[in-house]
Amino acid sequence: MNKWKVLGFLVLLLAMHKSGKAQEAIIKVIDADSRLAIPYANVCFQSLLSDAKTYSITSLEGDAKNNITERSLLVISFMGYESLFDTILPNESRVYELKPDLFHLHQIVVTATRTQKALKDVPAITQLVSAKEIESRGITSISSVLEDDVPGIEFHQAGFGSDIKMQGLDANYVLFLVDGERMAGETEGNIDYNRLNMNDVERIEIVKGASSALYGSQAMGGVINIITKKPRDKVEFSFGAKYQQFNQVNYSDLKSDDDFYTYKNNLDKPNLNTYATLGFYVGKLMSKTNFNMKSTDAYTLQSSDSMVMDIIEYDTTLTKLTSTEVPGISDFTISQMFEYELGAKWRLKANGSYYKHQQYDFIKDKKFQEFEDFSYGFKAFYQYADDNNLEFSYQDDLYNKFDVSEKTGHRNQEYAHHFYDPKLIINHLIGESHQLTGGLEYLSEELSTKMFSGDIDSLVSKQGATAIAFVQDDYAINSKLSMIAGMRYDYHSAFGGKLSPKLSVMYKWIPLTFRLNYAQGFRTPTLKELYMDWDHIGIFYIKGNENLKPETNNYISASAEFTKSRLNASINVYKNWFKNRIDGYWSVADDGKEVYNYTNIDDSDITGLELLVKYQLSTHFMLSGGYSYINDHQTLNNINISSVAPHSGNFKIGYSLSKRVYKLNINLSGKITGEKNYYEATNIYINGQQNIGTYAAHYSAFSLWKLTVAQNFHNGINLVLGVDNIFDYQTPIINFNTSLSPGRRCFVSLNFNVDKLYREFKNL
């Protein structure tokens, strides 16, 4: 009898347990096409009464608990899918289907309008590269990201470092931002690209064309905005490393008693990139700490063919076997971000970072270059009404350069560049049709360098400042037609005032979207272009020109975008007219040395066309590519000096497979650069005297291909195996405008998301 009582009691407990489980409210998230569960989707509940937020992440079965006590707004999001919005009640269970966002068209972007908009609704074609695309290819440099995905962008190695060109324009016309903020430290207009940590990138937004109406000087050619990651869970911890084959082993038998041990050892640093990120989001406080260390080895490239130069001015021919040297580096970066929700309307943010970059060349002078940056910023965001907000920010960035003794470690400062930039921006909705954006900004810059003095032992400082006001009206005329008009006024301390207008019109005739843009841009001469007076170790001079005028441009573009089912394609044509464009030319000084002089060249123009295509061949295969045509009419003394390749493109085919705890991504990508024909200058000796001559340069077309295989286990272990330059292409003639690839190189990348692994095995 007692046995039956015990058995009955156990049955009753089991029934009560099942009854309790049945009453538990569950949100289930599935793929709308495959009907399979989506694990690790982000689920956010925001109370409609108190605005309190609760966050969750779906389990391996795609489930998340509904533990709310008040009617709430529900937002479900996951990379590669359209975000879903709904309202939900306490104790309510539902199944939600997420639709794949094949082309990121529903991804929110901010760069093109300085407001949050879905990619499909921005007035200028904006390209987006997501964190998932970066991680699946094991990419650790911004140059690889942009060249692989964006036609019309080229990176080259110049004597001072990496140099970018976009739509035929060099770095002086392309503004790089990190979370909407400028960066100090430029060399010939190029920022220090090593500062950009690809492991901390949420997405990259690329807007081409004149953007001075929103971003001022240096945005004549476009804006590239790197948006960093934010923690989404209570605790997040990830770390990883990427290792690549040596580019070139210069000293394989190095001994510790070698007189040049430090010099030689620095040239053979491993190609290694490591990082670690710790983040948390508890209550109203968000924090993220990021570490990054990387190094690469130096290498020398030697031409296999001689360069033949038929000098026009002197009817003579020179033959030269060229070579170039690519320095090695070692980097260290640490950054910290805090964000705090102060009530329902206020949000505060603080960030800071320290960066150190060491660069090792092949000169045996017992010293190397060191670059150091300190930056910090504050931001206050006030939501004073629905769709209306006010934002105040302050960013301070100081970038220094030193020569460092290999023996003693003593640093001799060569350069200091300091930006500070307070801004006030307001977004205000008028009625249901007009989104007004306005702002005030004060951008101050100070540059201290020995290049200003002609004296190698003294730093000289120059300053410049710009006061700014801008306004923009985003007018939704109806469901199909919208228009954005804007105006910016910049008052520069040396050049006075400049108005920069813009007008964009977008018309949706599903499945087509038409965009028409007009904008004026401008660029004030940099402090170096104005004041430089530099003798480069007795080899050549660079001379500034205080009589330079600001350059201006008029930019117009028209585009059509087609999106239907598995296909997204767009065509964009543009024209760019420049006045007083700033460039340089070589001459010979009285002492026989070459001199590089800054000047306003003849008026120039650029005409271009771009094609972009993405097509999902099947559930597993995605094909994408782009083509760029550029006609850069840039003359100096009636000679075309543009070194832009008229034709270029990229191609990528990807294969993806997902099986519960395993994901596979295989990518084959190619970057194609067309041939170039232009005129170049060189020094020539006539009767023992140095002169400058010009010759017609020709560089043949080439392509670089990359293959990566990425495997993700349990959503927390990501292994990438890859090969750069599959076909081992090496340019036969080395020049600043040719590929500097050392040849085929293999790499492996291994990353761990500890928090995701913990959650998964906890669920199991």
Strand segments, DSSP code E, in 565-699 are 567-579, 582-588, 594-600, 604-616, 621-633, 635-636, 639-640, 647-659, 662-673, 676-686, 689-699
Number of neighbours of residue 727 by Cβ within 10 angstroms: 12
The first and second tokens of residue 196, run together, are 């950009």
**pLDDT more than 70, % of the chain:** 94
pLDDT in tens, 721-761: 999 999 999 988 887 777 888 999 999 999 999 988 887 77
**pLDDT range class, residue 13, cuts 50, 70, 90:** low
Residue type for 501, please? P
**In this predicted structure, what is the pLDDT of residue 77?**
83
**pLDDT more than 90, % of the chain:** 44
Query: How far is it, in rounded angstroms, from Cα 717 to Cα 749?
Result: 11
Average confidence (pLDDT) over 590-611: 83
Quote the mean pLDDT of the chain. 87
**In this predicted structure, what is the pLDDT of residue 1?**
47
114 contacts: CB under 8 Å, gap ≥ 6: 180, 214, 425, 437, 439, 472
Cα distances from 678 to residues 164, 577, 642, 728, in angstroms, run 18, 20, 6, 27
pLDDT in tens, 467-481: 999 999 999 999 899
- Given a contact cutoff of 8 angstroms between Cβ atoms, the answer to whether 118 and 101 are in contact is no
**In this predicted structure, what is the pLDDT of residue 11?**
53
Would strands 108-109 and 117-118 be described as parallel, antiparallel, or unpaired? antiparallel
Specify the DSSP element, H or E, that contains 485: strand 481-492
- Does the pLDDT of residue 540 top 80, yes or no? no
Please confirm whether the linkage preceding 511 is cis (ω < 30° from 0).
Answer: yes
**pLDDT range class, residue 46, cuts 50, 70, 90:** confident
**pLDDT range class, residue 34, cuts 50, 70, 90:** confident
- Given a contact cutoff of 8 angstroms between Cβ atoms, the answer to whether 130 and 106 are in contact is no
- Given a contact cutoff of 8 angstroms between Cβ atoms, the answer to whether 605 and 556 are in contact is no
pLDDT in tens, 388-401: 899 999 999 999 99
Average confidence (pLDDT) over 488-515: 93
Residue type for 535, please? D
**In this predicted structure, what is the pLDDT of residue 286?**
94
- Given a contact cutoff of 8 angstroms between Cβ atoms, the answer to whether 113 and 123 are in contact is yes
**In this predicted structure, what is the pLDDT of residue 195?**
92
- Does the pLDDT of residue 615 top 80, yes or no? yes
Query: How far is it, in rounded angstroms, from Cα 117 to Cα 274?
Result: 34
Cα distances from 464 to residues 38, 177, 414, in angstroms, run 53, 20, 20
Query: What domains sit in the chain, N to C, each tagged with a CATH number?
Result: 2-98 (2.60.40.1120), 108-763 (2.40.170.20)
**In this predicted structure, what is the pLDDT of residue 435?**
93
Average confidence (pLDDT) over 238-251: 94
**In this predicted structure, what is the pLDDT of residue 628?**
94
Would strands 174-178 and 186-187 be described as parallel, antiparallel, or unpaired? unpaired
**pLDDT range class, residue 48, cuts 50, 70, 90:** confident
**In this predicted structure, what is the pLDDT of residue 22?**
47
- Given a contact cutoff of 8 angstroms between Cβ atoms, the answer to whether 355 and 330 are in contact is no
**In this predicted structure, what is the pLDDT of residue 18?**
47
**In this predicted structure, what is the pLDDT of residue 35?**
79
**In this predicted structure, what is the pLDDT of residue 315?**
83
**In this predicted structure, what is the pLDDT of residue 636?**
60
Most confident stretch, 299-308, 579-588, 719-728: 719-728
Between residues 444 and 593, the one the model is more confident about: 444
**In this predicted structure, what is the pLDDT of residue 20?**
45
pLDDT in tens, 672-686: 999 888 777 787 877
Cα distances from 378 to residues 291, 390, 422, 602, in angstroms, run 21, 14, 9, 43
- Does the pLDDT of residue 178 top 80, yes or no? yes
Number of neighbours of residue 753 by Cβ within 10 angstroms: 22
**In this predicted structure, what is the pLDDT of residue 21?**
45
CA atoms within 13 A on the CB side of 471: 5
